[in-house]
Amino acid sequence: MTSTQHTAPSTTSPAGNPIGFGRMLRKEDARFLRGQGHYLDDLVVPGMLHAAILRSPVAHARIVSIDTSQAEAHPKVRAVITGATLESLNLAWMPTLSADVQAVLATDKVRFQGQEVAMVVAEDKYSARDALELIDVEYDDLPPVVDARKALDPDAPVIRDDVEGRTDNHIFDWEAGDKARADEVFAAADVVVTQEMLYPRVHPAPMETCGTIASMDRVTGRLTVWSTNQAPHAHRTIYALVAGIPEHNIQIISPDIGGGFGNKVGIYPGYVLAVVGSILTGKPVKWVEDRGENLMSTSFARDYHMKGEIAATRDGRILGVRVDVLADHGAFNGTAQPTKFPAGFFHIFTGSYDLEAAYCKVTGVYTNKAPGGVAYACSFRITEAVYLVERMVDLLADELGVDPAELRLKNLLRPEQFPYVSKTGWEYDSGDYPRALKKAMEIAGYDELRREQREKRERGELMGIGISFFTEGVGAGPRKHMDILGLGMADGCELRLHPTGKAQLRLSVQTQGQGHETTFAQIVSHELGIPPEDIDVIHGDTSNTPFGLGTYGSRSTPVSGAAAAVAAQLVRDKARVITAAALECSPDDLEWEQGRWYVKGDPSQGKTIAEVSMLAHGTLELPEGVEGHLDASVVYDPPNLTYPFGAYICVVDVDPGTGQVTVRRFIAVDDCGPRVNPMIVEGQVHGGLADGVGMALMQVIAFDEDGNCVGGSFMDYLLPTSMECPSWETGETVTPSPHHPLGLKGIGESATVGSPPAVVNAVIDALEPYGVRHADMPLTPANVWMAMQGRPMRTDLAVQ
């Protein structure tokens, strides 16, 4: 055989896409741009009925009576369900993700404003809403617990008297670190700075609210559920356990989701009620919540009252951090995080610094508010941890009179210290922190900004520069440590090559806008060298995808991305064996170039993946032990979390006469390892940065003294628009994860985690001429101005 001229394969596919990593336009855009997305409320199931939920107008009250007779008499109403109905089905209460129970419909009491009290199923949604007005509920008001700081007072009303023997509102105490060592270090330190700070209750508020269509087929006993759902398989298992429906008879389908951000992880009473409604009526039942229901009853985020302490030497070496946290969990403990971690990953509060000692104690309490706490891109409470430590570092800089960038550069972990085991037990996989911070400072023109600030201060103008350096811990997680309700956090992946060489990748993760249909195709494309347009990514339907715990906590790329890479590698390895069989040589004689195995020294002799797939499905004799077809199935158990990190710098101008804050610039340097699709990664960062502006300046779900939620609509729960956000300036460094097959770390929540402290630090920095040390988020104009007067506002309670 003669050796013919061999040209290296193009790294661009016939459709113009990169083969592997690179900027690629998204496959999913085609339908969204045409208004052809299939979101939950777009779905029509023949015969479907519509449900509406009656909710409690008060925060804490006994239910004296519920009269549904008029609602039942409405000509278009097919069913009315109350707590009494559910009690007879043993479904009035359901387990939460934190070993508590939550009322599906209130029976004895209502425990937060907006709690579910009854459900109507009607022929159309306007009639369902009309029928709600016909239900008469008599309440006997009880004093509510609204101020979390008073929840453990001896005379505080007991909220959870549904639990036998309960006499207070205490949920748990949890600690991490070494208290004795920390006490030693603090006692001997030159400088100790203490600060109380609140990370207020906020809400993810995706543009699409939560909803479901439940259809119980009376003939087959099969339950089909469409729902806005970031974790379809977990939901299926939980429905099986709770409702007693055999798991193989349940199919959960997540259609297109209009944003999740952790709002669509848990199982809400509305979902269970729709299932009950379908069982009772024999028809599919659709329930979609309105925005008020979304904000007032679905999983809120944060609500951590923190007291931080930081100890340092006189010359600015940080020695230790201590934190005391009061965690407001609302009326039911429904936080969604791995079982062994009731405070999530909060104990990563040691941040990006090398400390000698660290200790935290977290106390969880009940209040008369909606349940939740872990949501909104928090990476399981890392938002709270990063906010705490980055504020403390700035307070220390202020105390020592040193530049906050210099203080950080002095204390950041150094590259040679990785892998780094922190004082609270986290093993950070890799990082070059000083490089990222210096890059951010360079992009920002940091020295020039400080010069400008000095000049402005002389003229009485308020300008602030705020830094945030964060280490994230994502990609939960190793199944021996991490489970949700006993389900280990390992994810499956199935890769199947068709005879003509096209591929299908089935995953357990669930995109809500992150671009999985594109990114995961690119991962397989990278490993197999076939065009990403030839790879179909399938997810969202429990009937045709492998088991896994879903998408949240930035885990898709670290876990399922790893699974996809491993599966593709297995396929590639098998392709080698099949090529060897076809070419009658040894697999060791073969080398790989993008998409093709070829004979070393004779590149014209080779087989592409497509050719191999046809052979694998054909009649070629295969070696002993080698099965036909070209598939791989993997369950990936991550050995560790991955640790993306970043350095953010925010520049603000504050109007001293009004307290209004303008975010002039925001510089974000992120390191998430290699970037599969830089365009998608950058987009993820942009979105999270807007969250920082929103949370720092305007977002809060507050309550008045009667427990009324002041934040139940977008009139009061304020979200940033295009006017409040600057044009983001982004940069990158690349430090691969040593344990991920492709070194990928994940990016989804980084910017939401890292940005709020940058904005707050900037505003406090701006107010330095007024001697302001700290003020809590949200830094509305009123709060800023009041801080300037020496009286920053308390933001978890309504303004008096």
Report the C-alpha gap between 275 and 89 in whole angstroms. Answer: 12
As measured in angstroms, the least distance from the Cβ of 144 to other proteins is: 19
Interface with other proteins (CB under 8 A), residue from 162, 725, 738, 773: 725
Helix 562-583 and helix 609-616, axial crossing angle in degrees, nearest 10: 70
Count of helix runs (H) and strand runs (E) in the chain = 18, 35
Element of type H or E holding 614: helix 609-616
266 or 748: CB nearest other proteins: 748
Q: Which span (22-30, 267-275, 381-389, 493-501) binds other proteins, by CB under 8 A? A: 22-30
Q: Which span (204-212, 215-223, 360-368, 521-529) binds other proteins, by CB under 8 A? A: 204-212
Asked whether the beta carbons of 747 and 670 are under 8 A apart, the reply is: yes
As measured in angstroms, the least distance from the Cβ of 510 to other proteins is: 12
Q: Which span (69-77, 126-134, 306-314, 466-474) binds other proteins, by CB under 8 A? A: 126-134
Kindly state whether residue 130 participates in binding other proteins, applying the rule CB under 8 A. yes
49 or 171: CB nearest other proteins: 49
Q: Taking the chain, what is the end-to-end CA distance rounded to the nearest angstrom?
A: 89
633 or 662: CB nearest other proteins: 662
258 or 757: CB nearest other proteins: 258
Asked whether the beta carbons of 565 and 741 are under 8 A apart, the reply is: yes
Kindly state whether residue 12 participates in binding other proteins, applying the rule CB under 8 A. no
Report the C-alpha gap between 179 and 358 in whole angstroms. Answer: 7
Report the C-alpha gap between 154 and 664 in whole angstroms. Answer: 48
Q: Which span (28-36, 87-95, 214-222, 458-466) binds other proteins, by CB under 8 A? A: 28-36
Asked whether the beta carbons of 396 and 318 are under 8 A apart, the reply is: yes
Kindly state whether residue 460 participates in binding other proteins, applying the rule CB under 8 A. no
Between 727 and 766, how does the x/- string for binding to other proteins read (CB under 8 A)? xx--------------------------------------
Q: Provide CB contacts within 8 A for 459, sequence distance 6+.
A: none
Beta bridge partners of 196: 307
Kindly state whether residue 120 participates in binding other proteins, applying the rule CB under 8 A. no
Kindly state whether residue 466 participates in binding other proteins, applying the rule CB under 8 A. no
Interface with other proteins (CB under 8 A), residue from 1, 154, 723, 771: 723
99 or 799: CB nearest other proteins: 799
Kindly state whether residue 46 participates in binding other proteins, applying the rule CB under 8 A. no
Torsion region of 683: left, alpha or beta (phi above 0 gives left; psi -120 to 50 gives alpha)? alpha
Find, among 657, 655, 650, the residue nearest to 690 by Cα.
650
Kindly state whether residue 41 participates in binding other proteins, applying the rule CB under 8 A. yes
Q: Which span (121-129, 191-199, 323-331, 552-560) binds other proteins, by CB under 8 A? A: 121-129
Between 468 and 507, how does the x/- string for binding to other proteins read (CB under 8 A)? ----------------------------------------
Interface with other proteins (CB under 8 A), residue from 690, 747, 760, 775: 690
As measured in angstroms, the least distance from the Cβ of 687 to other proteins is: 5
Kindly state whether residue 196 participates in binding other proteins, applying the rule CB under 8 A. no
Q: In the window 251-290, what residues touch other proteins (CB under 8 A)? A: 256-259, 261, 290
As measured in angstroms, the least distance from the Cβ of 104 to other proteins is: 23
Kindly state whether residue 786 participates in binding other proteins, applying the rule CB under 8 A. yes
Beta bridge partners of 118: 54, 82
As measured in angstroms, the least distance from the Cβ of 225 to other proteins is: 20
Kindly state whether residue 542 participates in binding other proteins, applying the rule CB under 8 A. no
Asked whether the beta carbons of 753 and 729 are under 8 A apart, the reply is: no
Find, among 763, 783, 781, the residue nearest to 773 by Cα.
763
Q: Which span (29-37, 150-158, 218-226, 347-355) binds other proteins, by CB under 8 A? A: 29-37
778 upstream amide cis, omega within 30 of 0: yes
* CA dist list (Å): 119 to 40, 271, 272: 19, 11, 11
Q: 316 exposed, middle or buried (CB, 10 Å; 0-12, 13-18, 19+)?
A: middle
Torsion region of 297: left, alpha or beta (phi above 0 gives left; psi -120 to 50 gives alpha)? alpha
Q: Which span (212-220, 356-364, 415-423, 695-703) binds other proteins, by CB under 8 A? A: 695-703
Kindly state whether residue 686 participates in binding other proteins, applying the rule CB under 8 A. yes
Kindly state whether residue 206 participates in binding other proteins, applying the rule CB under 8 A. yes
Interface with other proteins (CB under 8 A), residue from 529, 636, 785, 792: 785
DSSP 353: B
Beta bridge partners of 141: 61
Interface with other proteins (CB under 8 A), residue from 56, 209, 551, 608: 209
346 or 376: CB nearest other proteins: 376
As measured in angstroms, the least distance from the Cβ of 59 to other proteins is: 18
Kindly state whether residue 790 participates in binding other proteins, applying the rule CB under 8 A. no
Kindly state whether residue 702 participates in binding other proteins, applying the rule CB under 8 A. yes
As measured in angstroms, the least distance from the Cβ of 261 to other proteins is: 7
Q: Provide CB contacts within 8 A for 540, sequence distance 6+.
A: 232, 253, 254, 255, 510, 511
Report the C-alpha gap between 306 and 427 in whole angstroms. Answer: 24
Kindly state whether residue 716 participates in binding other proteins, applying the rule CB under 8 A. yes
CA torsion through residues 570, 576, 582, 587, sign:
negative
DSSP 114: T
Find, among 98, 175, 750, the residue nearest to 473 by Cα.
750
Q: In the window 217-256, what residues touch other proteins (CB under 8 A)? A: 256
As measured in angstroms, the least distance from the Cβ of 682 to other proteins is: 8
Kindly state whether residue 459 participates in binding other proteins, applying the rule CB under 8 A. no
Q: What are phi and psi of 337, to 5 degrees?
A: -155, 170
Q: In the window 627-666, what residues touch other proteins (CB under 8 A)? A: 657-660
Q: Report the 10 Å Cβ neighbour count for 747.
A: 28
Q: Which span (93-101, 128-136, 155-163, 631-639) binds other proteins, by CB under 8 A? A: 128-136
Kindly state whether residue 794 participates in binding other proteins, applying the rule CB under 8 A. no
106 or 685: CB nearest other proteins: 685
Interface with other proteins (CB under 8 A), residue from 1, 64, 187, 715: 715
Kindly state whether residue 29 participates in binding other proteins, applying the rule CB under 8 A. yes
Label the pairing between strands 250-253 and 116-122.
unpaired
Kindly state whether residue 683 participates in binding other proteins, applying the rule CB under 8 A. yes
Interface with other proteins (CB under 8 A), residue from 195, 281, 662, 713: 713
Report the C-alpha gap between 770 and 610 in whole angstroms. Answer: 69
7 or 727: CB nearest other proteins: 727
Three-state secondary structure call for residue 223:
strand
Q: In the window 568-607, what residues touch other proteins (CB under 8 A)? A: none
Q: 460 exposed, middle or buried (CB, 10 Å; 0-12, 13-18, 19+)?
A: exposed
Interface with other proteins (CB under 8 A), residue from 158, 626, 734, 799: 799
DSSP 504-562: EEEES---SSS-HHHHHHHHHHHHH---GGGEEEE-SBTTSS-----S-TT-IIIIIIH
Interface with other proteins (CB under 8 A), residue from 25, 99, 158, 180: 25
Between 507 and 536, how does the x/- string for binding to other proteins read (CB under 8 A)? -----xxxx---------------------
Beta bridge partners of 630: 497
As measured in angstroms, the least distance from the Cβ of 71 to other proteins is: 15
Beta bridge partners of 484: 487
- # chain residues binding other proteins, by CB under 8 A: 79
